[in-house]
């Protein structure tokens, strides 16, 4: 059986969906599993043990090109070649985990006789349901998005007892991070706590002064070595936190996804807003605290028994008290 998983983005959402691949592989060990994903999120799926193939698409590039006369022709050619490649695979099943019109179109392009997706009321864009022919309403107890994704496997007779993540390791990334930590004087017995101040939207970012207060208390009261993580256009925030503390936290270098994976595996705790690195830490089994304002922690929080989602009382990130975050951090560390 040939199965296509359609989950394009973002990093955190792709991570939330990974247990679907694990469950399918265990239930259908001989199946050929293909994941269709945005090019920017390709790195998290590269060499994944449960996948036979990954098909990258770049809808972000298409949106930039489509408004230019020559660009529209280029997009048409790219889409035509992608459609041909997907059709050639002759999928038996396609599972749309995204719930958007664009993911629905890609699901339809597979030509799979069985196309599974969410029911109208559960699609992020209700018109998505027009492109599927088996629509699932997640059970009431499936509160978290991880559980909702897994509920889409019910038409295939797959019922996962619990979500499981498989994330490959990269020996070269491990060596580079080991050398980096040794250069910074971090010893194997040191309690490394990662803080990630960035997020995809400003409304999901916790104030840097709050991060600085927690960093100071972690270093002074919990004896932790604080590691500041940052992504594209986020270095200024990390440096601002470092400048506000006396504890001299470590500033991470630019990292690839495999290198970030190694850092988070090495960490005793991760504190971040609703962003990809937070969910990567949770998937690795690292104790994690997610800070939530405009999004719901119960649905989108870090998943796992050693994870906590702290919800803002009024929907704004600034209303999450640093003292409450430190208390949760101390509980998980202990």
Whether residue 152 is found in the same domain as residue 253: no
Half-sphere exposure of 26 (CA within 13 A, CB side): 16
Sequential pLDDT tens for the chain (334 residues): 999 999 999 999 999 999 999 999 999 999 999 999 999 999 999 999 999 999 999 887 777 777 777 777 777 788 888 889 899 999 999 999 999 999 999 999 999 999 999 999 999 999 999 999 999 999 999 999 999 999 999 999 998 779 999 998 899 999 999 999 999 999 999 999 999 999 989 999 999 999 999 999 999 999 999 999 999 899 999 999 999 999 899 999 999 999 999 999 999 999 999 999 999 999 999 999 999 999 999 999 999 999 999 999 999 999 999 999 999 999 999 8
261 found inside a domain: yes
Can you give the residue range of the structural domain that contains 72? 2-156
User: Does residue 164 lie within any of the structural domains?
Assistant: no
Determine the Cα angle at 325 with ends 224 and 178, to 5°: 35
* CB of 293 closer than 8 Å to CB of 319: yes
CATH code: domain of residue 51: 3.40.50.2000
> Do residues 215 and 226 lie in contact, with contact meaning Cβ atoms separated by under 8 Å?
yes
Closest CA to 272 of 334, 191, 328: 328
Q: Say whether both 103 and 27 belong to one domain.
A: yes
Mark whether 134 and 226 lie in a shared domain: no
Give how many domains the chain has, as a whole number.
2
Quick one: 187 and 147 in the same domain? no
């Amino acid at each position: 059986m040939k199965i296509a998983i359609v989950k394009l983005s973002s990093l955190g959402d792709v991570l939330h969906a990974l247990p679907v691949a694990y469950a399918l592989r265990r239930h259908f060990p001989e199946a050929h599993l293909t994941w269709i994903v945005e090019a920017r999120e390709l790195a998290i799926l590269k060499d994944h043990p449960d996948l036979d193939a990954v098909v990258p698409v770049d809808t972000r590039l298409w949106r930039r090109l489509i408004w230019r006369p020559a660009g529209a022709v280029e997009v048409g050619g790219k889409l035509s070649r992608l459609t041909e490649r997907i059709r050639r695979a002759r999928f038996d099943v396609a599972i749309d985990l995204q719930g958007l019109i664009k993911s629905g179109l890609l699901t339809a392009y597979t030509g799979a006789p069985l196309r599974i997706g969410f029911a109208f009321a559960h699609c992020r864009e209700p018109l998505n349901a027009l492109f599927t022919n088996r629509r699932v309403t997640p059970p009431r107890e499936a509160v978290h998005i991880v559980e909702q994704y897994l509920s889409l496997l019910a038409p295939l007779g797959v019922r996962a007892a619990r979500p499981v993540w498989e994330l490959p390791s990269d020996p070269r990334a491990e060596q580079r991070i080991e050398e980096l930590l040794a250069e910074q004087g971090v010893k194997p017995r040191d309690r490394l706590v990662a803080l990630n101040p960035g997020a995809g939207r400003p409304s999901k970012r916790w104030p840097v002064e709050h991060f600085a207060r927690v960093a100071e208390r972690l270093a002074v009261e919990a004896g932790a070595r604080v590691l500041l993580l940052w992504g594209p256009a986020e270095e200024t925030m990390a440096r601002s936190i470092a400048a506000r503390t006396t504890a001299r936290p470590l500033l991470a270098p630019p990292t690839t996804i495999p290198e970030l994976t190694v850092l988070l595996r090495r960490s005793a705790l991760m504190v971040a807003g609703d962003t990809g690195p937070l969910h990567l830490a949770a998937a690795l089994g690292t104790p994690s605290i997610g800070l939530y304002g405009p999004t719901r922690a119960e649905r989108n929080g870090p998943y796992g028994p050693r994870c906590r989602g702290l919800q803002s009382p009024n929907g704004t990130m600034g209303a999450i008290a640093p003292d409450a975050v430190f208390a949760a951090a101390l509980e998980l560390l202990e």
